[in-house]
């Protein structure tokens, strides 16, 4: 089976009708996708293990298995109504890179390990890069036990129902486990396509932060309660969302981005004044201090809106992570590999976050981007051309080969 048909098959494990893909961690499509990938890894002769949350590791042993391995990989979970390429290109492209090296009979000194990270997307537990955070020790086992989905069901409930029973404290990788890590991914932005350049080599990953806000006002009859008497939680939330947007635009930097992607209104009836709202806000920037200035502006807006509208606002910071700098040796290996194949590349920053944000804390890390049509991602019409995916896998293989003999 070709890499392309494997991507197509993987896309069929979904809770949404094609071309949309929805694959939330620990769901039935996630289980079927894992089984499918494990069978592909087994067919490639890789040795496999899964940890206590379901990070999957598939290893091709090097000639000196005592050396730290070179890692590659990405995620297979997909947010609701997403596409078929986010994460999956790095998983199946990573597997293809290992198979390319096997086909040419290359036996490097270091082992090469494909990682299929568990829950890069925040859909189930509200926090992104769940699996890689645990691997890197950026989230500890006891803190992860506090995670709940929106219905209050715990991580432990979910993972054990999905068949993962191991000791959470064992998930963290030992120091020096990888000598280098490279993640292949679609760009999720338009720059490569616009420039007609087939590859992006990532030198830094932007700092993400996300907040959960609970806004509490007073409900009542939509016809009977007069406007001066209202303490409408949703109107307060709307002002906070607009303050977030204003603060992000006010930095004047195109790298500052802010989104309000979740808004639950209670009780959610057309003839009832909203008494309670849950908002989830996402703020990012490659410059951490500038990102934090937007977070501070949101805090000020919450206090001002609460006082003026007579509502309460409670905040939970879900995450507030620093940016990552990629490692120059891994970047150089990617540049050399692209040059040798005669493929143009552009160095760039990643505005999206990736598991590499956390892998960079425990291993020299860089990323390889390929173009995606129109820069579109997190949508059903996400698309990457087969020739770009193939080039990505080839350059990934070449870079891994360089790193694995280093
Ligand atoms: C990853 O999916 C992100 O939201 O950047
Ligand atoms: Mn994504
Ligand atoms: Mn992704």
Distance CA 174, CA 357 (A): 18
Q: Give me ligand 3 centre to Cα 377, in Å.
A: 9
What is the Rg, in whole angstroms, of the alpha carbon atoms belonging to the chain?
Answer: 22
Tell me: the pLDDT tens digits for 323-363?
Answer: 999 999 999 999 999 999 999 999 999 999 999 999 999 99
Mean pLDDT of 377-402: 98
| Predicted structure pTM score | 0.95
From CA 367, how far away is CA 334, in angstroms rounded? 9
- Ligand 3 mean position to 89 CA, how many Å? 9
How much of the chain, in percent, has pLDDT values that exceed 90?
A: 99
Q: Is the CB of 353 under 6 A from ligand 1?
A: yes
At 241 the pLDDT is: 98
173 CB near ligand 1 (under 6 Å): no
Q: Measure 353 CA to ligand 1 centroid, in angstroms.
A: 5
In the reported structure, the alpha carbon of residue 94 is separated from the centroid of ligand 3 by a whole-number distance in angstroms of 14
- Kindly tell me if the per-residue pLDDT of 1 is higher than 80: no
Beta-sheet pairing, 199-205 with 345-350: parallel
CA distance 117 to 303: 38
Q: How confident is the model at residue 364 (pLDDT cuts 50, 70, 90)?
A: very high
* Domains, the chain, with CATH or none: 3-206+323-404 (3.40.630.10), 208-320 (3.30.70.360)
Does ligand 1 have an atom closer than 6 angstroms to the CB of 3?
Answer: no
Q: Which ligand 1 atom is at minimum distance from the Cα of 284?
A: 5
Query: What pLDDT sits at residue 406?
Result: 86
Residue 69 — pLDDT band, cuts 50, 70, 90? Answer: very high
The neighbouring-strand residues paired with 59 are: 47, 113
Pocket test for ligand 1, best of 88, 131, 324, 354 (most atoms within 8 A of CB): 354
Atom of ligand 1 minimally distant from the CA of 377: 2
What are 151-173's pLDDT values in tens digits?
999 999 999 999 999 999 999 99
Alpha-carbon span 348 to 36, nearest angstrom: 33
* Ligand located closest to 122 CA: 1
Q: What is the atom index within ligand 1 of the atom nearest the CA of 87?
A: 2
Q: Which residues surround ligand 2, an ion (CB under 5 A)?
A: 86
End-to-end CA distance of the chain: 32
Residue 6 scores a pLDDT above 80: yes
Q: How far is the CA of 275 from the centre of ligand 1 (A)?
A: 31
Q: Is 187 in the pocket of ligand 1 (CB under 6 A)?
A: no
What is the rounded distance in angstroms from the CA atom of residue 250 to the CA atom of residue 242? 12
Of the candidates 323, 319, 313, 362, the residue with the CA atom closest to the CA atom of residue 143: 319
**327 CB within 6 A, ligand 1:** no
Confidence (pLDDT) at 31:
98
CB of 352 within 6 A of ligand 1: the answer is yes
- Number of the ligand closest to the Cα of 83: 2
Dump pLDDT digits (tens) for 77-87. 999 999 999 99
Whose tokens are 């129109």? That residue is 374
Q: 354: closest CA among 344, 338, 368?
A: 368
**Whether the Cβ atoms of residue 248 and residue 294 lie closer than 8 Å to each other:** yes
What separation in Å is there between the alpha carbon of 352 and the centre of ligand 2? 8
Per-residue buried b or exposed e for 123-142, using 16+ beta carbons within 10 Å of the residue's own CB: bbbbbbbbbbbbbbebbebe
C-alpha span between 395 and 334 (Å, rounded):
7
Per the CB < 8 A criterion, the answer to whether 311 and 230 are in contact is: no
- The atom number, within ligand 1, closest to the CA of 121 reads 2
110 within 8 A of 179, measured Cβ to Cβ: yes
The bound ligand whose nearest atom lies closest to the alpha carbon of 89 is 3
- Which of ligand 1's atoms lies nearest the C-alpha of 188? 5
Residue minimizing CA distance to atom 5 of ligand 1:
352
Picking from 357, 207, 214, the residue whose alpha carbon sits closest to that of residue 292 is 207
Average pLDDT, the chain: 98
- 3-state SS, the chain, equals CCHHHHHHHHHCCCCCCCCCEEECCCCHHHHHHHHHHHHHHHHCCCEEEECCCCCEEEEECCCCCCCCEEEEEEECCEEEEECCCCCHHHHHHHHHHHHHHHHCCCCCCCCEEEEEECCCCCCCCCCCCHHHHHHHCCCCHHHHCCCECCCCCEHHHHHHHCCCCCCHHHCCCCCCCEEEEEEEEECCCCHHHHHCCCEEEEEEECEEEEEEEEEECECEECCCCCHHHCECHHHHHHHHHHHHHHHHHHCCCCCCEEEEEEEEEECCCCCEECCEEEEEEEEEECCHHHHHHHHHHHHHHHHHHHHHHCCEEEEEEEEECCCEECCHHHHHHHHHHHHHCCCCEEEEEECCCCCHHHHCCCCCEEEEEECCHHHCCCCCCCCCCHHHHHHHHHHHHHHHHHHHCC
Beta carbons of 396 and 389 less than 8 angstroms apart: no
> Is 164 touching ligand 1 by the criterion CB < 6 Å?
no
């Amino acid at each position: 089976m070709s890499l392309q048909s494997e991507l197509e098959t993987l896309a069929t494990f979904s809770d949404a009708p094609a071309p949309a893909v929805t694959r939330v961690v620990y769901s039935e499509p996630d289980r079927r996708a894992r089984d499918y990938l494990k069978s592909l890894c087994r067919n490639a002769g890789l040795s496999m293990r899964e940890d206590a949350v379901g990070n999957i590791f598939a290893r091709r042993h090097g000639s000196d298995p005592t050396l730290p391995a070179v890692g590659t990989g990405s995620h297979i979970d997909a947010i609701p109504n997403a596409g078929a390429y986010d994460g999956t290109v790095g998983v199946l492209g990573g597997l293809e890179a290992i198979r390319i090296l096997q086909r040419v009979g290359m036996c490097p000194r270091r082992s090469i390990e494909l990682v299929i990270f568990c829950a890069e997307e925040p859909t189930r537990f509200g926090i992104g890069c769940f699996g890689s955070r645990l691997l890197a020790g950026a989230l500890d086992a006891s803190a992860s036990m506090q995670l709940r989905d929106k219905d209050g069901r715990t991580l432990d409930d979910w993972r054990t129902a999905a068949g993962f029973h191991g000791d959470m404290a064992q998930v963290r990788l030992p120091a020096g486990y990888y000598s280098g890590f490279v993640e292949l991914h679609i760009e999720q932005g338009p720059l490569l396509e616009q420039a007609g350049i087939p590859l992006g080599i990532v030198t830094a990953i932007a700092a993400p932060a996300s907040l959960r806000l609970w806004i509490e006002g007073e409900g009542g009859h939509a016809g009977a309660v007069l406007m001066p008497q209202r303490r409408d939680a949703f109107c307060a939330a709307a002002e906070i969302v607009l303050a977030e947007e204003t603060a992000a635009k006010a930095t004047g930097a195109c790298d500052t981005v802010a989104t309000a992607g979740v808004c639950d209104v209670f009780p959610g009836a057309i003839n009832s004044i909203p008494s309670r709202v849950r908002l989830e806000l996402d703020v990012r920037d490659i410059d951490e201090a500038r990102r934090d200035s937007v977070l501070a502006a949101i805090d000020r807006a919450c206090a001002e809106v609460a006082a003026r509208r007579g509502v309460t606002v409670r905040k939970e910071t879900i995450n507030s992570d620093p940016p990552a700098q990629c490692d120059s040796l891994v970047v150089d290996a990617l540049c050399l590999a692209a040059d040798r194949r005669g493929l143009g590349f552009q160095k760039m920053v990643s505005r999206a976050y990736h598991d590499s944000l956390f892998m960079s804390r425990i291993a020299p890390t860089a990323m390889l981007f390929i173009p995606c049509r129109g820069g579109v991602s997190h949508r059903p019409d996400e698309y990457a051309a087969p020739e770009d995916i193939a080039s990505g896998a080839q350059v990934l293989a070449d870079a891994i080969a360089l790193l694995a003999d280093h």
